[in-house]
């Protein structure tokens, strides 16, 4: 078993997912440290569900951990991250870094050289790896355009309803922050730095998060279009990331299926698996990378600078 102890702040959906991945007997990259959540109900629930130790406070958890995974709502991210870095610990944070763009920028500027990364699973996903390999092989020639489409039956998605209080609020929630950001990260990593050329957003319900967006983006040398909406599909969650070049096209469908356009038909990669099967395996890859990051070694995780670049575009879309 690894000598890297990871503590988890936040016992909600993402915290539990990461804990289950870390507790998998086949996982040897990290060992599970303490867990803490400000909610007594959440602490009791996770203690009943999993064999974990509950810390008495966030400060106690930080002291007992080599790396702190921050899976609490976004408004609390910077306080926990700052405390962990000040204690000399590594951090692995959920996105976005903060609810305030200026505060996030100041944090990134002050944390240069720190052992810090953000949980964008496409940094280690099988499907993103296949897309990158196809690009390196010249499968589509010179990239010319990109289209990103996200659609939801409801927002929040049914499995997220327990977190609706912040996931459907304007300050911290919405599908642009929660879902679109992943595809913007993939775009930035494969195509280059992002720029926002124009956008529209619809907030039809007072106090609730967006229900539709459109945007035009630059990504390195190419332009991209982005569309997203709630109530636009019968699926809980449907998305397409399609990159077209002068010799062909490739795409990522529904998070995990890498496909190539061949003779007018989309053909999936032979090793592709649905997201339900891929997600726990990708989390294992994330944990391996977290251990490397904590040791100060090279790793593929999203840097806080990459995460801030994504957040800058996301907040621009939401405030056109």
Query: What tokens does 161 get?
Result: 């309803």
* Contact yes or no for 46/37 (Cβ under 8 A): yes
**Whole-number Å distance between alpha carbons of 9 and 71:** 6
Burial of 126 (0-12, 13-18, 19+ CB in 10 A): middle
Residue carrying structure tokens 């007992």 = 64
Mean pLDDT score of the chain, rounded to an integer? 97
Give per-residue pLDDT as tens, 71-84: 999 999 999 999 99
Burial of 38 (0-12, 13-18, 19+ CB in 10 A): middle
Q: Where does residue 296 fall: left (phi above 0), alpha (psi -120 to 50 degrees), or beta otherwise?
A: left
Give per-residue pLDDT as tens, 265-302: 999 999 999 999 999 999 999 999 999 999 999 999 99
Question: Which residues touch 91 (CB under 8 Å, ≥6 apart)?
Answer: 67, 68, 69, 70, 80, 81, 84, 85, 114, 115, 116, 117
* Helices (H), ranges, the chain: 13-23, 40-49, 58-63, 77-86, 101-110, 126-136, 164-167, 175, 181-191, 275-294, 304-318
Dihedral sign of CA atoms 213, 215, 219, 223 in order: positive
**Whole-number Å distance between alpha carbons of 17 and 74:** 17
Average of pLDDT values for 139-165? 96
**pTM score:** 0.96
Q: 180 in helix, strand or coil? A: helix
Give per-residue pLDDT as tens, 87-138: 999 999 999 999 999 999 999 999 999 999 999 999 999 999 999 999 999 9
Dihedral sign of CA atoms 251, 257, 258, 259 in order: negative
* Contact yes or no for 90/116 (Cβ under 8 A): yes
Question: Which residues touch 202 (CB under 8 Å, ≥6 apart)?
Answer: 210, 211, 212, 213
Question: What is the enclosing helix (H) or strand (E) of 142?
Answer: none
Domains of the chain: 5-122+281-305 (3.40.50.720), 125-271+309-314 (3.30.360.10)
The pLDDT of residue 151 is above 80: yes
* Contact yes or no for 89/68 (Cβ under 8 A): yes
Question: What is the enclosing helix (H) or strand (E) of 214?
Answer: strand 212-219
Check residue 292 and give its pLDDT.
Answer: 98
């Amino acid at each position: 078993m690894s000598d890297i102890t990871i503590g988890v702040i936040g016992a909600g959906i993402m915290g539990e997912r990461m804990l289950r991945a870390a507790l998998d007997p086949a996982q040897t990259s990290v060992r599970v440290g303490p867990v803490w959540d400000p909610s007594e109900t959440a602490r009791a629930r996770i203690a009943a569900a999993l064999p974990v130790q509950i810390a008495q406070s966030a400060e106690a958890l930080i002291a007992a951990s080599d790396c702190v995974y921050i899976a609490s709502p976004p408004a609390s991210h910077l306080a926990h991250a700052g405390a962990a870095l000040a204690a000399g610990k590594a951090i692995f944070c959920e996105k976005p870094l903060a609810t305030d763009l200026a505060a996030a920028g100041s944090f990134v500027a002050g944390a240069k050289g720190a052992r810090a990364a953000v949980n964008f699973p496409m940094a280690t996903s099988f499907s993103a790896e296949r897309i990158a390999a196809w690009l390196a092989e010249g499968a589509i020639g010179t990239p010319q355009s990109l289209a990103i489409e996200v659609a939801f039956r409801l927002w929040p998605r049914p499995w997220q309803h327990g977190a609706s209080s912040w996931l459907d609020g304007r300050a911290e929630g919405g599908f642009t922050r929660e879902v679109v950001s992943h595809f913007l990260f993939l775009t930035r990593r494969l195509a280059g730095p992002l720029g926002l050329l124009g956008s529209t957003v619809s907030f039809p319900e007072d106090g609730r998060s967006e229900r539709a967006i459109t945007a035009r983006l630059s990504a390195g040398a190419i332009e991209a279009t982005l569309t997203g909406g709630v109530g636009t599909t019968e699926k809980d969650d449907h998305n397409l990331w399609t990159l077209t070049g002068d010799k062909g096209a490739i795409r990522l469908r529904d998070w995990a299926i890498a496909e190539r356009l061949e003779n007018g038909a989309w053909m999936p990669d032979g090793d592709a698996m649905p997201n339900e099967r891929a997600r726990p395996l990708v989390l294992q890859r994330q944990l391996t990378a977290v251990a490397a990051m904590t040791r100060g070694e090279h790793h593929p995780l999203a840097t806080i600078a990459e995460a801030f670049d994504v957040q800058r575009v996301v907040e621009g879309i939401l405030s056109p």
